[in-house]
Amino acid sequence: MYNIVVRAEYCKGCGICIDFCPKRILYLGEDKNSLGHRYVKVSDESLCIGCRLCEYYCPDFAIFIISKS
């Protein structure tokens, strides 16, 4: 089990993490951060396999994974 943490203020909505997520649980939400960027949200965190591809490819360090165990 994993927690997916999205730091909305760091996210510029580039979608790289969305493209690399093998489980397709990330999406670009409608909410905007203080810079006016839509940011990534998680549809079903329980499906996360902890591969960390989102974390590795994010150019802005806006998303990271925490293991619950």
Average pLDDT per block of 10 residues along the chain, 69 residues long: 97 98 98 97 97 98 94
Domain that holds residue 6: 2-67
pTM: 0.92
- pLDDT at residue number 69: 74
Q: Measured between alpha carbons, how far is 31 from 48 in angstroms, rounded to an integer?
A: 22
Residue 42: strand pairing partners: 26
Number of alpha carbons in the 13 Å side-chain half-sphere of residue 52: 6
47: domain CATH number? Answer: 3.30.70.20
Total number of domains in the chain: 1
